[in-house]
């Protein structure tokens, strides 16, 4: 991962997002020493994994040693993940607000905090991010719905308020094979109520109705295949990117035009994430 990050830096890519799966904060500490100009952020660090004082101390440390190249993306994660941790939770909005407040209160002891980004899907969390944070991070967001959310951000703040969206991306001349990979990627998200509510608000009512029909009538063993079978191209192409390099570049440009930075979450039809990243590098080779 560190080698890929250095290569991304050498190729002129500006940012890397560090996923919550694994150990995002140790990875970011390593990135601080393995890179020199690349900017990077957690997307996202679940708040229930660490006390806000410890999280703030670690974030401030990385912020200092990178000279400001790091940003701290945080979120409440998803219900099934939190339940496995066995921690007591409140309401997402209040939990995030209290967490950020605790980190800022400790700032005089732990050091200056980096920019804080909040994991965002729907409008209430976006509004909270505008109020207490420095940016917002979406994942699997709807390209057609994001512009209306961007309009919620005061004009005077849009130039400094960071926005990015994690986009499942597969580069291949075989569009249907690429879509099949992205369908598998989104199976887990289709089971989550917060994502179904978001996609319904984005105008994909018919697709969400299909998901809920499957969830109500199919056993766990056959759930993945049943969900992928009802995933419509219109919905999939609104929330992911599947296709040849030219189309992928066009879609990234469309996301950039909204003011939201596209972050490619790479997979491949003929390999894993490393192959997907290699395909991305090739698509932007200079």
Residues 6+ apart with CB under 8 A from 93: 124, 125, 128
pLDDT band at 167 (very low <50, low <70, confident <90, very high): very high
pLDDT of residue 81: 67
pLDDT of residue 9: 98
pLDDT of residue 23: 85
What digits encode the pLDDT tens for the residues 1-19?
A: 999 999 999 999 999 999 8
DSSP code string of 182-246: HHHHHHHHHT-HHHHHHHHHTT-HHHHHHHHHHHHHS-GGGHHHHHHHT--HHHHHHHSEEE-HH
Q: Taking phi first (over 0 means left), then psi (-120 to 50 degrees means alpha), and beta for anything else, what does residue 219 get?
A: beta
Residues 6+ apart with CB under 8 A from 151: none
187 has pLDDT over 90:
yes
What digits encode the pLDDT tens for the residues 205-219?
A: 999 999 999 999 998
pLDDT of residue 83: 72
Q: Domain extents for the chain?
A: 2-169+243-274
What digits encode the pLDDT tens for the residues 231-262?
A: 999 999 999 999 999 999 999 999 999 999 99
What digits encode the pLDDT tens for the residues 83-130?
A: 777 777 789 999 999 999 999 999 999 999 999 999 999 999 999 999
pLDDT of residue 106: 97
pLDDT of residue 88: 73
pLDDT band at 77 (very low <50, low <70, confident <90, very high): confident
Residues 6+ apart with CB under 8 A from 223: 187, 191, 214, 215
For the record, the structure tokens of 148 come out as 């209306």
- pLDDT over 90 percentage in the chain: 91
State the helix-helix crossing angle for 2-10 and 24-34, rounded to 10 degrees: 50
Q: Is the CB of residue 132 less than 8 Å from the CB of residue 113?
A: no
For the record, the structure tokens of 17 come out as 């997002």
139 DSSP β-pair partners: 166
Q: What's 268's DSSP letter?
A: B
267 DSSP β-pair partners: 170
DSSP code string of 96-121: HHHHHHHHHHTHHHH-----EEEE--
Average pLDDT over residues 153-170: 96
pLDDT band at 79 (very low <50, low <70, confident <90, very high): low
Q: What is the CATH number of domain 2-169+243-274?
A: 3.20.20.30
């Amino acid at each position: 991962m560190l080698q890929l990050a250095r290569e991304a830096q050498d190729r002129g890519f500006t940012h890397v997002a560090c996923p919550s799966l694994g150990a995002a904060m140790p990875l970011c500490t390593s990135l601080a020493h393995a890179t020199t100009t690349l900017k990077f952020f957690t997307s996202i660090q679940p708040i229930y994994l660490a006390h806000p004082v410890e999280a703030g101390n670690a974030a401030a440390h990385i912020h200092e040693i990178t000279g400001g190249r790091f940003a701290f993306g945080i979120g409440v994660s998803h219900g099934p993940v939190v339940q496995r941790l066995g921690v007591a939770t409140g309401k997402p909005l209040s939990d995030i607000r209290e967490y950020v407040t605790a980190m800022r209160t400790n700032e005089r002891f732990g050091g200056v905090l980096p920019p804080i980004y909040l994991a965002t899907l729907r409008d209430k969390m976006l509004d909270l991010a505008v109020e207490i944070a420095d940016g917002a991070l979406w994942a699997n967001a709807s390209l057609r719905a994001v512009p209306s959310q961007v309009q919620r951000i005061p004009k005077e703040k849009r130039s400094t308020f960071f926005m990015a969206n994690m986009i499942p991306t597969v580069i291949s001349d075989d569009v249907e094979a690429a879509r099949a990979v992205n369908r598998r990627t989104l199976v887990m998200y289709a089971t989550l109520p917060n994502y179904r509510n978001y996609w319904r608000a984005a105008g994909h009512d018919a697709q969400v109705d299909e998901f809920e029909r499957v969830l109500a009538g199919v056993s766990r063993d056959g759930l993945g295949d049943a969900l992928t079978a009802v995933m419509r191209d219109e919905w999939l192409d609104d929330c992911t990117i599947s296709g040849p390099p030219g189309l992928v570049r066009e879609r990234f440009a469309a996301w950039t035009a909204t003011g939201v930075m596209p972050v490619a979450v790479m997979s491949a039809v003929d390999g894993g994430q490393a192959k997907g990243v290699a395909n991305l590098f090739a698509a932007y080779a200079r």
